[in-house]
Every structure is written in C-alpha cells, then in structure tokens.
Amino acid sequence: MKSVIYLWVLLLVMATQAARAVQTISLNTALQKKMIKVDIRGLGSIDGVNSSSHYGKCMGMKITNLTGNVLKVNLETGRFLTADSSEVQNMLVTQNSITELQPHQSRNVKLYAMCSEKHDDAPDPNITFKPGPMSTGNLFHLAKLIEEKKYQNSMAQNAVWALTDNLDIASVSGDDPLQQKFLREFLSTATGKPLPPEVPQKNRNSMATRETREIYSISCWFEYEVLKSNTVSIILYNSNGDIVKELMPATQTKSGSYSKTCTLSSAEFPIGEYEIKLQIGRSSTLSRKIYLGPRANVPQEE
C-alpha cells in the first residue's frame, strides 16, 4: 500500500514539474529574465519569403531559448514592436503568437502586425525591432477586433491609421462591404466622427458602367539602379495618399540595374487617379502619377 501511495505521489510531482516546465511566459518577461533572445525584423530577412511590408505576416522573429527548460513564450495582441530607427514605423501586433521552445532551441516565427505611423517608412529587413509597450484604449480594442475577425488586410491597416494618424474614416474601404461597415462603425464610435455616406455597390466604378463596362488598363515602367544590396518595394496609392496595394512587397535586391513594368486594370481597381512609388531602401524614391480610365494619360515621373 505504501509503495502505491509513493508511486502516486511521485507521478504527481513529476506531472507538476512538467506543467511548470512548459508554463506560458510573456515575451517581455522572458527577455527581462534573460531566458530568451530575439531578433525581430521585416519578414524577408528571416526566411527569404517576401510578404506585405505594412500588414499581415509582415514581421519575422528569430527566438532562442537560453535555458535548459521547455518554454512557451507569448507575444500578445496589441503590443508594439518598436523600430530601432526613427524613420521606420513602429508595428502593432494584430495576432497573439505563442512559441514553444525546447531547451536551447531557436525558431523562426512569422508575426502578424500593422504599421502605426503612416508617414514613416515600412519595416525594413535591415532594421531591427524590440518588443515595446502594450497599446491602450481604442487602438488595443481595434487590434483585438482585427485578430478576432481575421481582418489582416489593407482595409484594417487603414483603420489602424485612422486612430494613429487621424486618417479619414472614408479611407477604410474595400471589396468586402460587411468588413468595411464593421470597421467604419467601430471607428465612428471610437472617434466620435460621423460615418461617411455609403456608396451603393451597384454604383461603384460607375464610370465603367456608363462606358459600356469597357475594361481599361494602363502600364507604367521604372528603370532603376541598386548601388548596393537593399530592399525595393512598389506601392500603389490613391489620390488621397492612402495605400491601395503593394504591387511588389519589400524585396531584398542585389546591386545592379533593373526595370519593372506595373499594369493596372479597371477590372481590379476603380477608375481614377493613382500614384505608384518605387522605394529603394529608405533614401531613394521614384514615382509615377497615372490615370486609370477612358482618358488614361502617359505616366510622368515626379
């Protein structure tokens, strides 16, 4: 009987120790206790897979367990990732990430995040980030909403900027009317600003309707030189200066001469004025202003 009790107690102790060994700990606490080290950058520097440089799985983290125990490390939704350069946007984590690490193991983890300073540069694989403070108030609630609804896209990115940079609520627009309505109503309640008038779905891109639904397209081209290995991105902006789409996410590019043609179609984008910017690192920008529609003109370089 005593041996049975002893065995039961031993198993209980072992189970308790195992549970403690894999107890979840916040990433910031683990860093403060020097249990881990991390290297957080733009995703392209982690595994060579290029993603959106502003939102979605746009960040990568290499995390290393410095202890002899199994760790579960939690990076919370709503925490800022602070850039080591004042020219680069701080990032807002938009999906909780729990990483389990065996003793002394290193892992590469992709992180969902969004930019929080519209007029600074997007994350750069050459710029490192540190875990910063938690967001608060409406921005924290928006981050949780984005996680819950899986709104990891450009519409939600503009919603973040509507809080951090006072972007117009009308800039939160896209092809999903339910998501657009949900985010706009959240922002209106959060900021006290009135909701913009809704444009009926059937009237969107109405010029194309009047023009017998003809599909228009326009192309513009870039010739550029990369003096030394650097990131190159191409981003499409509307006439208000809001990001419409990343035509080429930030891509690590070797030195050399390159050319790139970008084509827009009214089958994908509403008729109107746009600007396409090609960014090399953080110092060199080429831009083209174009008009997509029946009066499309030749793009001019600024």
Q: 26-73 pLDDT, tens per residue?
A: 999 999 999 999 999 988 544 444 455 788 899 999 999 999 999 999
Residues 6 or more apart in contact with residue 193 via CB below 8 angstroms: 169, 187
Residue 246 pLDDT > 80, yes or no?
yes
Q: Is residue 186 a contact partner of residue 265, using CB atoms and an 8 Å limit?
A: no
Confidence of residue 282 (pLDDT cuts 50, 70, 90): confident
Rounded CA-CA distance 38/42 in Å is 13
φ, ψ (nearest 5 deg) of residue 188:
-65, -45
Q: Is 52 helix (H, G, I), strand (E, B) or coil?
A: coil
Pick the more confident residue, 299 or 57. 57
For tokens 């174009």, what's the residue? Answer: 290
pLDDT at residue 48, rounded to an integer: 44
Using left for φ > 0, alpha for ψ between -120 and 50, and beta otherwise, residue 273 falls in: beta
Tell me the C-alpha to C-alpha distance, in Å, between residue 242 and each of 52, 157, 264: 15, 10, 16
Write the pLDDT tens digit of every residue in 164-214: 999 899 989 887 899 999 999 999 999 999 999 876 655 545 444 444 457
Domains of the chain from N-terminus onward? 20-191 (no CATH), 210-301 (2.60.40)
Q: Which of 29-38, 102-111, 161-170, 241-250 has the lowest mean pLDDT?
A: 241-250
Write the pLDDT tens digit of every residue in 64-102: 999 999 999 999 999 999 999 998 899 999 999 999 999
Choose among 247, 19, 51, 43: nearest CA to 129.
43
Residues 6 or more apart in contact with residue 258 via CB below 8 angstroms: 222, 223, 224, 225, 226, 232
pLDDT at residue 4, rounded to an integer: 53
Choose among 218, 153, 204, 207: nearest CA to 182.
153
Q: Dihedral (C-alpha) 125, 131, 136, 139: value to the nearest 10 degrees?
A: 20
